[in-house]
Structures are given as C-alpha cells and as structure tokens.
Amino acid sequence: MFDEVTTGAQASGQTKANYSATPAASRTRVARATDWRIWAIGILILLIVAYFWRAHRAAIEAANKPMRPMIPVSAATSQRGDLNLFLTAIGTVTPFNTATVKTRVDGTIDQIFYTEGQTVKQGDRLVQIDPRPFEVALMQAQGQYAKDLATFENARITFERDKVLFAQGVIARQDLDNQESLMNQARGAVESDKGAIDSAKLNITYSRITAPISGRIGLRLVDLGNLVHATDTTGIAVITQLQPIAVIFAIPEDDIPKVVARMTSGQPMTVQVWDREFRKQVSTGKLLTFDNQIDQTTGTVKLKAQFENPDYALFPSQFVNARLLINTMQNAVLVPAAAVQKSPQGSFVWVVKADGTVMQRGVTVAATQGELSAIASGLVLGETVVTDGVDKLQPGAKVNAHMTNVALGDRPTAQ
C-alpha cells in the first residue's frame, strides 16, 4: 500500500512537471513564428521600397535623358492611275523630201522671186533666167518650120501630079519614086522643125525655174546677174519639206516583237519627241514603219515616225529624244520611283505608320517608267512611303515627313 501511495505521488509529481513544462515550449514556438513573420514583413517592405526606388530612379533618368530627334524625310502617298510604258531612244529629225534646185539651161539670172527662208509651194516661180536667147531660137525654129513646110507642100503636090502622069504613061516609074522620096524628105524636115520649136519652147519654160516641192527654201546660193550652167553642182537653192516631217530612231532588237504585234493589230502607236535634256515635249506624232533589217553592229532596228510640225519646232538634222508608247497599265498603284529600294531579298519601301514611325515592307514592282513605279503587291492605295532620306532609317524610327505629291504625268527622266 505504501508503494502504491508512493507511486501515486510520483505520478502526481510527474503530471505537475509535465503541466508546468508544456506552456514554456509553446511560448518558445510562438516566439519563433513571430520572429519569422517580422523578418518576412521586413524583407517584403524592403523589396517594395527597392522597387519604387528603382522606378523613381528610372523615371528621373527618363526625364533627364534627351529625346531622340525625329528624322526629317520626304514622303508621298500612293495613288491610283495609269502608267504609260515607253521605249526611249535618240532620234534624228529627217525631212520627207529635200530638193536642190538647179537650172536645166545656161544663162544669166534675170530675176529672183523668193526670199531666203521663205515657205514656198510646189510650182511657185523662184528664178527667171534671161529668156531672150531661147525666144530667138524659137523664132528661128518657127521660121525654118514654115520654110520646110512649104517645101513639103510643094513636093506633095508634085507627087500627086506625077501619080496621074504615071498612070497615063507620060513619066517613068523612077521619076515617080524620086518625087515620093523628095516629099518624104520634106516631111522629115517639117517634123524636125516641130521638134526644134518644142525644144525652144521647153528652154523658155526651163528659164522660168519653179519650186519642185513645197517646203522651206534655204539660203540663196546665187545672186542676181550670175551666169549659171546646167552642169553646175551647187545649184540655185535648196528646198526642204518641213510639214510633215519625220523622225528616225532605233530600238533594241529584243523590243521588235512588241512593235510588230502592235502595228499588225492596226493600233496606232504614239511617238513623243522631247528635247535633249527631257525638259520639254516638242511634238507628238505617230509611228509610220520600221526598217526591214537589223543593224548587226548595234543590234537595233530603225523606226520612222511622222509629225505634222505646225509650229516648225522640228528641224532637219536635229537630235531629239523619241519615246514610243508600247502599252498602258490601267488603274495601277503608283509611287515615286525613288521610294523603291533594292536589297538582296528584293525590292522594298519604307512605310510611314500612323504613329509617325517607319517600317520596312517588301513590294513587287510591276513596271517603272520615268519617275513613277507601279506596285503589283505589298502596298495598298493611300499608304505613305518615304521618298528621300532613306539612308538614315531603321525599323521603328520616328520621322518628320514632308509630304510631296505624286506626279501622274508622263514626264520622263534624262537617260
């Protein structure tokens, strides 16, 4: 029993000990958990402070950092229009007709009816050579004709009489034949006199020199009172037809099928003529024909175009730039040719976006003529492209675009 009491007491003491020890351990664990929360909150506060500090520093640096300037460029808006495609070549103005006026008779120039540089018509009198020697020759021929005609009439009457006498047996056959021969000789003399009369009249006509063609007469080569001969090589004057006038130019042999196909279809082919610097269009005409063979030394074929030349803007032997209209692209998206850039990957343009930045975009060029390019794909109507200042651009760069208009005319560029 004593043992039982003792054991109970020990058990009771152990229970008290356990009771007293349990609150202390719990307090320790609670204290440790509280310390970790404090540290976590402190670290979180430090992270938040560091984040806002860095954001504040970044804002200050961004405010103090100078802004990147916008790049000045020239730009244009793509438009829709027709693009005429031309073949361009150097041409020479050539008259259809040129005549050197010469005399057909010898004589002294009696009158000059034209002035230098005058436009004359075919048949207009130009020069009068002294006709008196030819008039005298005409009178002599007419007198000889009258004499020989009388001789012929006498021989004819005698022949008619001899035929009657021969029929009556009065004269011999030989006498009749002799008389017939005399009559024929007289007839021949009469015919020769007629030719002399016509020759004298023709010389009188030749003494009145007229314009063989219509055109502009050049500088005078002879003066009043000069003695001219039919054998002279210089002539009296030179007349050149200026209305209409032709232009001859050459195109590469590879382009001949295009011209042949267009001409055989019956469609008229327009030819423009510009001055040497391509600054002014001189005239517009139509293609007449092309040569029948290729020049093997140059690989080209000659073409001939006609121009009415009402204002005499085209002059013989003048060098011009000829443009032959081959085709017209209808309703094409057009941009200045300067906007199209080249790269190993192909053609591209710099497109100006709504926010003022640029982007590089690949395009397909259908054709380029002069200062315009027709875009087949990669660009739509109304988009803005950079035409000048592209060497400074990078994707995303901010630009200050100076807008220019797209000239939809046919003005070419110098070759």
CA atoms of 406 and 290, how far apart (whole Å): 35
Answer yes or no: are the C-beta atoms of 268 and 286 closer than 8 Å.
Answer: yes
Same domain, 173 and 221: yes
The answer to the question of residue 167 being in a domain is: yes
Same domain, 113 and 218: yes
The answer to the question of residue 30 being in a domain is: yes
Q: What is the token pair recorded at 131? A: 């006709």
Same domain, 317 and 362: no
Q: What is the token pair recorded at 73? A: 């460029």
**Termini Cα distance of the chain:** 135
Same domain, 348 and 392: yes
Q: What is the pLDDT of residues 286-309, one digit of tens each?
A: 999 999 999 999 999 999 999 999
Per-residue pLDDT of the chain (415 residues; tens, 9 = 90+): 334 444 444 444 444 444 444 455 555 666 666 777 777 787 878 778 777 777 767 766 655 555 557 889 999 999 999 999 899 999 999 999 999 999 999 999 999 999 999 999 999 999 999 999 999 999 999 999 999 999 999 999 999 999 999 899 888 999 999 999 999 999 999 999 999 999 999 999 999 999 999 999 999 899 999 999 999 999 999 999 999 999 999 999 999 998 988 888 888 899 999 998 888 999 999 999 999 999 999 999 999 999 999 999 999 999 999 999 998 889 999 999 999 999 888 999 999 998 999 999 999 999 988 889 999 999 999 999 999 988 888 898 999 888 887 766 666 655 4
The H-or-E segment that residue 21 falls in is helix 2-64
The answer to the question of residue 15 being in a domain is: no
Q: Any idea what the CATH number is for the domain that residue 173 is in?
A: 2.40.50.100
The answer to the question of residue 163 being in a domain is: yes
Same domain, 227 and 257: no
Among 273, 230, 252, smallest CA distance to 105 is for: 230
CA atoms of 75 and 332, how far apart (whole Å): 19
Q: What is the pLDDT of residues 188-227, one digit of tens each?
A: 999 999 999 999 999 999 999 999 999 999 998 999 999 9
The H-or-E segment that residue 386 falls in is strand 384-388
The answer to the question of residue 197 being in a domain is: yes
Q: What is the token pair recorded at 380? A: 């739509």
The answer to the question of residue 400 being in a domain is: yes
User: Which residue type does 249 have?
Assistant: F
Place of tokens 């070549």: 89
Angle, alpha carbons 111-112-118 (nearest 5°): 165
Same domain, 141 and 198: yes
Residues facing residue 252 across a β-bridge: 300
CA atoms of 415 and 323, how far apart (whole Å): 12
Answer yes or no: are the C-beta atoms of 287 and 271 closer than 8 Å.
Answer: yes
Answer yes or no: are the C-beta atoms of 318 and 93 closer than 8 Å.
Answer: yes
The answer to the question of residue 145 being in a domain is: yes
Structural domain including 34 reads 21-65
What is the number of structural domains in the chain?
Answer: 4
Decide which of 276, 307, 328 is a domain's last residue: 328
Answer yes or no: are the C-beta atoms of 50 and 56 closer than 8 Å.
Answer: no
- Measured in residues, the chain has a length of 415
Answer yes or no: are the C-beta atoms of 368 and 337 closer than 8 Å.
Answer: yes
Q: pTM of the prediction?
A: 0.67
Among 394, 389, 386, 362, smallest CA distance to 376 is for: 362
Same domain, 264 and 319: yes
Q: Any idea what the CATH number is for the domain that residue 375 is in?
A: 2.40.420.20
The H-or-E segment that residue 166 falls in is helix 132-167
CA atoms of 165 and 175, how far apart (whole Å): 10
Residues facing residue 367 across a β-bridge: 374
The answer to the question of residue 281 being in a domain is: yes
Among 302, 301, 307, 305, smallest CA distance to 324 is for: 305
